[in-house]
Amino acid sequence: LAKTTQPISMDSYEGQEVNITCSHNNIATNDYITWYQQFPSQGPRFIIQGYKTKVTNEVASLFIPADRKSSTLSLPRVSLSDTAVYYCLVGDPKAAGNKLTFGGGTRVLVKP
C-alpha cells in the first residue's frame, strides 16, 4: 500500500474551513484515496473516497490534482464536534483482503 504523509495536528475555530493535505507520491494506478475520521474512544468512520478530480458529499470534499500525488480533505464550517483524528489512506480496493494501512493521522482541534 502507498505510504502517506499528513500533518500531525491542526487547530481551527468554529465556522472555519479546515483543509488537510495528504502526500502520496508513490500512488499506483489502481489506488483510491480514502479518508476516515476517528473520535476519542470510538472506531474510525469512513468519510469520503475518490480517485481523481473532486468528490463531494454531505460531510466533506476531497480534491485530487491530476498527478494524484497528493489530496486535500476539506471540512466546511467546522464545529466543536469535528474535533477528531483524520486518516488518509491509499490503496487498491480490489487488492486481496481490502487491507488498510493507517498512518498516524492528523489531529484536528476545533476551538470555540
Does 29 help bind another protein (rule: CB under 8 A)? Answer: no
The β-bridge partners of 22 are 71
* CB of 81 or CB of 112, closer to another protein: 81
DSSP structure string for 30-82 = T-EEEEEEE-TTS--EEEEEESSEEEE-SS-EEEE-TT-SEEEEEE-S--GGG
Give the binding-site size for another protein (rule: CB under 8 A): 25
Site string for another protein, 47-66 (x = CB under 8 A): --x-----------------
Give dist(CA 48, CA 60) in Å, integer.
7
Closest distance between another protein and the C-beta of residue 14, in Å? 25
112 binds another protein (CB under 8 A): no
DSSP secondary structure letter of residue 106: E
Binding site for another protein (CB under 8 A): 32, 34, 41-46, 49, 87, 91-105
